[in-house]
Amino acid sequence: MRQFLSKYFKGDSIIWILILLLAIISAISVYSSSGTLAYRYKDGNTTYYILRHVVFLLIGFGVIIMVHNIHYKYFSRLSLLLLPLSVVLLVLTIFSGNSLNEASRWITVPVIGLSFQPSEMAKIALIMYIARILSVKQKDDEPTRDAFRPIMIAIGIVCGLIFTEDFSTAVLIAGIGMAMMLIGRVPVTYLLYTVGAGVVVVALIVLLAMQFPDVKAFHRVDTWISRVETFGENDNADMDKAFQANQAKIAISTGGLFGKGPGNSIQRDFLPHPYSDFIYAMIVEEGGLFFGIIVLLFYLIMLYRAGVIVRKCRTTFPAFLVIGLMLAFTLQALAHMAVSVNLMPVTGQTLPMVSMGGTSILFTSIALGMVLSVSRYAVVEDAEEVEQGKKDVSEIEDNE
């Protein structure tokens, strides 16, 4: 068994274990939260959604295995193809995408009829591109000024195409890009001016939307404002507007320290999308605060292991790639959890590798496969250098 695992599952073993644990939590939580929905809409077949979800999880594992066998150096070149392709798909989504909750975020692949969110693909492609540019533009003992313009153009295009339909995802992507540039030694003043300009642009868009409410590009602005106002009013908010947040708070408060047990959730019948947007609230209701903290720690440990991998990287591209991908993975998880415990306005961000959703699982698996690719080949390259006498063994042990 050990030989089999070492043959097909290479790279950071702790990340592999955490992926498996998150998948198990996902299967249990999705089954518990989707059973009633399946009973109502699938002729009493309560296993419909969980079976579909397990298939996606298995496909996701296959994708991770496939991607982690590809050397990370190819991801740098691939970004030059994927980023323009993502932009094209985002444009197509705006004009001919499928709508969900009054937002056009999905596009259907002709012939096979598969629907997916181009924003998920764009997020990964942009991170790959930023890692490439930061790597290429690095200079010894100098700020990376030359990287700022091409990166900001890419971020501006991608986020500009996303934000009208999915504001939270656009903000998340922009934040990841800023963090990567900060780590990549882009001058802080550049980033501060950019953040300031971004705030001004958003404020102008809100003002324009209030003046011209019939313009299609502004049709989601009222939703943004309503969610922020509802969050600010907290307990004084209108019950209908605060319905999602209130049901999540009830789920968490009634879960107590150790929860009601798997399958015993009450709020799953009241929470909107308990299998995706609010799955963490349902996890805490059934598993309690104790288990909720454990799930949180899983994501933080993943981020820590990313830091371990970065320390092993001998070149800058794989280091920036791992930083960007794991920041996206962890920040999305933290945003989802913050919404569930009412620390943020409702955003609609899913819990990576746990929430039900084929697109989310597929692209999260691609990202994790890339991280494991870096982990795998960084270790191999270190071992080769030790054999050649180029690196002392103690130096590698210090990086574990």
H/E element, 58:
helix 48-68
Instruction: Write down which residue in 219, 247, 276 finishes a domain.
Output: 219
Residues near 152 by beta carbon (within 8 Å), at least 6 away in sequence: 194
H/E element, 302:
helix 279-312
- 301 falls within a domain: yes
Instruction: Write down which residue in 188, 219, 250 finishes a domain.
Output: 219
234: left (phi over 0), alpha (psi -120 to 50) or beta: left
Residues 86, 63 share a domain: no
Number of domains the chain is built from: 2
Residues 118, 148 share a domain: yes
pLDDT in tens, the chain (400 residues): 666 666 678 889 999 999 999 999 999 999 988 877 787 777 778 888 899 999 999 999 999 999 999 999 999 999 999 999 999 999 988 877 666 555 556 777 665 556 778 889 999 999 999 999 999 998 877 888 899 999 999 999 999 998 887 888 999 999 999 999 999 999 999 999 999 999 998 888 888 877 777 766 666 777 777 777 777 776 665 666 678 888 888 899 898 898 899 888 888 888 878 888 899 999 999 999 999 999 999 999 999 999 999 998 988 999 999 999 999 999 999 999 999 888 888 887 899 999 998 888 999 999 999 999 999 987 666 545 545 555 543 443 344 3
Residues 304, 278 share a domain: yes
CB 32 within 8 A of CB 268: yes
- 229 falls within a domain: no
- This prediction has a pTM of 0.89
How many Cα atoms sit within 13 Å of 150 on the Cβ side?
17
- 184 falls within a domain: yes
- 225 falls within a domain: no
H/E element, 103:
strand 103-108
Provide the domain limits for residue 365.
1-70+238-369+380-400
Residues 210, 128 share a domain: yes
Residues 83, 210 share a domain: yes
Residues 397, 294 share a domain: yes
- 28 falls within a domain: yes
Residues 65, 12 share a domain: yes
Structure tokens at 145: 């000024």
- 37 falls within a domain: yes
Residues 76, 66 share a domain: no
Residues 202, 84 share a domain: yes
- 375 falls within a domain: no
- 39 falls within a domain: yes
Q: In sequence order, what DSSP letters do the residues of 156-212 get, joined into one string?
A: HHHHHHHTTT-HHHHHHHHHHHHHHHHHTT--HHHHHHHHHHHHHHHHHHHHHHHH-
Residues 92, 60 share a domain: no
Residues 349, 260 share a domain: yes
Instruction: Write down which residue in 172, 191, 219 finishes a domain.
Output: 219
Residues 206, 91 share a domain: yes
